[in-house]
Amino acid sequence: MTLVVVAMENLDALPMLGRGKHRNPKKGACFMELASFLAGERWSDHPACTHPLLAMLARAVNDLTSDEARPQLAPLIPSVIGLNSDDPRWSVRIALRAAATALPVSPADRQQTLAVAIYGCERMLDTLDDRPAHTMGEASVAALAAVPRTAQWARTFLTDVHLKPRRFVRDAAPSVVSTAVQGISEAFVPDVDARLRHLLTDTVAEVRGWAGRTDEDAAPLLPAAWAPVVRPAAAR
């Protein structure tokens, strides 16, 4: 799915995204704060317009992307507005995508957690989707194949572990997303910023599919809408 969300005549005007939380636009803005602004909500980095775990992923990618690359995240912001659901499968699948993306490139000290997360997410989907036990998606298989010893350890670790979907969604899924984004940010690869951006882009596209949203549903990124929080790139 291609996200077509940019409708700006002047691409020299870029939202100056910053790390962390900001009290108001004059102090700066992060990805989700600008989403709250565009959605017409109270200024917040936890707006109601976006699924909590997707919003967490967006905040983490925003904060761990370099200052130079962070403006490239801006065109995605309108696409997260209106993506929310209480379906637990959303959280499980968001966490699974993050873990499978991060596992092959993350430092060794994070790989065990991510491998366990992949198996755990797949188990949750066995239950939530009423599918055969031990079903594994292609992305999961490929990610685990990249670290076979760690994958074997993770399988053994989970042998006698019983997971409950509600607790997994509440406690485990946020930890998985945090670990995954941290793992990518610490990877010894030359394209960390691009990998973080692609994780967020691909996740947003997938979630929009679950929500039945099309590219045309995304709000346009209009210069006037950004006036309180945009300054020209030439002024940086």
pLDDT value, residue 18: 72
Which pLDDT value is given to residue 180? 98
Q: Reduced to 3 states, what is the DSSP secondary structure of residue 158?
A: coil
Q: Rounded CA gap, 3 and 78, in Å? A: 10
How confident is the model at residue 3, as a pLDDT? 40
Average pLDDT, the chain: 86
Amino acid identity of 54?
A: L
What's the number of CA atoms in the CB half-sphere (13 Å) around residue 112? Answer: 5
pTM: predicted TM-score of the whole model, two decimal places = 0.86
Q: Of the given ranges (4-13, 59-68, 81-90), which has the lowest mean pLDDT? A: 4-13
Query: Are 126 and 203 a contacting pair, CB within 8 Å?
Result: no
DSSP-H helix ranges across the chain: 31-38, 52-64, 88-102, 108-128, 138-145, 148-157, 165-167, 173-185, 192-210
> What local confidence, expressed as pLDDT, does residue 8 receive?
37
Is the separation of the CB atoms in 219 and 80 below 8 Å? no
pLDDT of residue 222: 63
- List the one residue out of 85, 64, 83, 77 whose CA is nearest residue 18: 64
Rg over alpha carbons for the chain, rounded to the nearest Å, is 18
Quick: pLDDT tens for 74-124: 889 999 999 999 999 999 999 999 999 999 999 999 999 999 999 999 999
Identify which of 22, 27, 14, 20 has the alpha carbon closest to the alpha carbon of residue 73: 14
Distance of alpha carbon 79 from the chain centroid: 12
Rounded-to-integer distance, Cα 155 and Cα 119, Å: 7
| Residue range 16-32, pLDDT digits in tens | 777 766 666 666 688 99
44 or 176: which carries more pLDDT confidence?
Answer: 176
Please check whether residue 88 is in contact with residue 128, taking contact to mean a CB–CB distance below 8 angstroms. yes
Start-to-end CA distance of the chain, whole Å, equals 33
Q: What is the average pLDDT across 126-140?
A: 95
pLDDT in tens, 219-235: 666 656 665 555 444 34
- pLDDT at residue 213, rounded to an integer: 84
Distance separating alpha carbons of residues 37 and 42, to the nearest angstrom: 7
Per 3-state DSSP, what percentage of the chain is helix, strand, and coil (rounded to 5)?
A: 60, 5, 35
Q: Read off the tokens for 189.
A: 């690869």
The residue with tokens 């959303």 is 90
